[in-house]
Structure 1
Amino acid sequence: MKLKSKLALTGAATMAALFLGLNANAARMDMVDVSNNNGYMSTAEYTSMRNEFGVKAVTVKISEGSTYKDPYAASNIANVQAAGMYINGYHFARYATKAQAIAEADFAGRTAKAVGLPIGAVLATDVESQEANNQYKSTNDRNNAAFMQEIQKFGYRSDIYTSGSWANNKMTIKDKTGWIAAYPYVVSGKNWYSSNHAWQWSSTAKFRISSGGFDVSQLNSDYYTAGQKSKVKPTNKAAVKANNRKANKNIYKPADSAKWVKESKTYTLKTAVKLRTGASTSSNTITILPAGTTVNTDQAIIHGGYRWVRQPRFNGYGYLATGSASNTLEYVKSGATHTYYTVKSGDSWWTIAQRNGLNMATLASQNGKSIYTTIYPGQRLVVR
């Protein structure tokens, strides 16, 4: 989902593994957040998260800025509810002014209603963008307050998601509010941000029947479970315990474990971005690419908490972060990359399905849609 800083792995990992074997205070996998980056998620996947991993709540991406609507929001909401878990939503904030914050809240609220987010659910503002980074703390506080006040008009409860390094630095996060991301080496042994609603402790958690990595959080209050003690009960408590311990032990790996994957893609930058000599925030800056620049890339990687892409240049390569490790830009999963088809004039669900050896329902569902959803020329659909 988001912009978070990760520390480098140290020799403490060995001690951590030994410590975890005895420590009962492992961070819990109470809540998962998902977006278009995770692709289509079935009810079976959510049911597995509940019964085998102890997940109680899921928070799905609803929207971003003033125009983007997550294409999987409706199917995620329906499938989470079918799996019997609490459902919430979040909006990736791009606002820099109070007026923009109110406009984005109106857009997020209308979109949430349209995709079926139930009244009373949390609709959090995910504040980690460059726009917010450029503001004074007082400005971010004013903008966040305006967004959350406006969201309540739609019948939703509000909250702020941000990184630990931004909390009470870039913006104020009061006790008994907030969903904070921070990734320590030794996950167990301390309940981080216990005075806040939730602590997100990983963006790379693995689930048995789902591909890729997921953001997982420990809930420190009942805010994300409808303001009540969770009624969600796993069916396999032994599996929950084992899977939770495994997640705590194995969530962090050396940076060189990441793999580059092919990605021939063109980006148009929304904001100015630093082009670097390597895929790291500590690498030297080649130049600053201004907003509106078109960038052609050939490879992508998830590394150091960010999603990086490589730009071929006349004298080598340049590297830039497209966002956090699970940002709104398409996430390329190692070993699970998708094949896409671009809709042409005259295409229909039936013709595309036939061309790719699928039935219409399968094609539509893996794109978070139904066969009654209108498709348009230029739209990209997952076919593999």
Structure 2
Amino acid sequence: MQKMKMIKRGAASVAIALLLLPMADTAHATIVKHYGVDWSKFQGNNGKWGYARDDFSISQIGGYYNGYFIDQSTYGTQVSNTIALNRRAHTYIYAQFSGRNQADQMLDYYLPKVQTPKGSIVMLDVESGNPDTDSVLYALKRVKDAGYTAVLYGYRSFLTSHLDLASIAKQYPLALAEYKDYKVTAEPDYNYFPSFDNVQLFQFTSTYVAGGLDGDVDFTGITENGYKGGNAQAPTTSTPATTTGKQLHQDTHNYTVKSGDTLSAIASRYGMTVNALVTLNGIKNANLIYPGQVLRVADSGQGSTVSQKATTTTTTSTYTIRYGDTLSGIASRYGTSISALASLNGISNPNWIYPGQLLKLSGGSSARTYTVRSGDTLSGIASRLGTSWTALKAKNGLANANLIYPGQTLYY
């Protein structure tokens, strides 16, 4: 971690010059400057951005208040939507605690819930209560030992009146807050900088834009931690939220729901999580989809590669049923019929299958497939393949013969 000593108030021009010039006492070439925001539940499920230049967010996972927990329900979606926008997501805990026992209670609860990648910032927001130096250092070490970048946030006046902040700053980076006023402020005023050792993040306003928003500046590149080369689409480790974010970032196309489809089966087919599919399409109830409904799905899954010709593939001889599967969906996926699967597997009731059940498919026989191209029609494809559009429609379980899309795999 780089260490920098910010200059005292009253010399703004010197401060700005220092921020833009190489650091004389380190091997690093220049000081990196990133702008970003921090959020609680008041910024909603998707968060709120100030300017196009913003490239990181720090979302509140929850608060600890001397033994009481208050989770933030917006945390996971804020993280995933930050990643989806090709920006870097980090985490903070509102931390009102004293003593190692309370530090353990707080971190035992919140550390397993962190959804930003290992190496990312997990910041302790210490701005109330009666903290003590020993327990704060203990808590920061626990965050670091868990594999995250441990940062202490607060107001200089509060922290110095309760803690040996100089001792803490020798071991961990600081994020300090100081506001000149409550007017809309897009750029830091370094006359109002809370100068101290090892300040790597500066929250310079709570009115970054009209209506209120915390605005932050990163002086050292600390907000690149946890992301390979600072690339928001390449977190060093995956979490459900970062996975969802990367999936939301992918190119997508339309998929029309067919009879028998389930959201989990569609998600699996296109290499997505159900959460990503739900978020992408604004679905309020994952159990309520209907034939003919048009969903956006990722281009990376099955049937997504546009081909110039029909191909022949060999089907798998068996299939293990997963949660959310239906017999009609499996039949469609493998180019067969419900009745053929039911007969082959001795199934008397096609509506009664269960996760983990092993199905025989078509015994390893070849199934011919065609990948739809831009401009194709079902009748044109049928003519090219020597079949009829009605046969294609039935074979693929299409609810509407006019609704096919580039990248879709058809069986014939």
Classify the TM-score, shorter chain.
0.3 to 0.5
Query: Relative CO higher for 1 or 2, CA cutoff 8 Å, sep ≥ 6?
Result: 1
Higher strand share: 1
**Normalising to structure 1: TM-score of the pair?**
0.45
**Normalising to structure 2: TM-score of the pair?**
0.43
> Which structure has the larger Rg over C-alpha atoms?
2
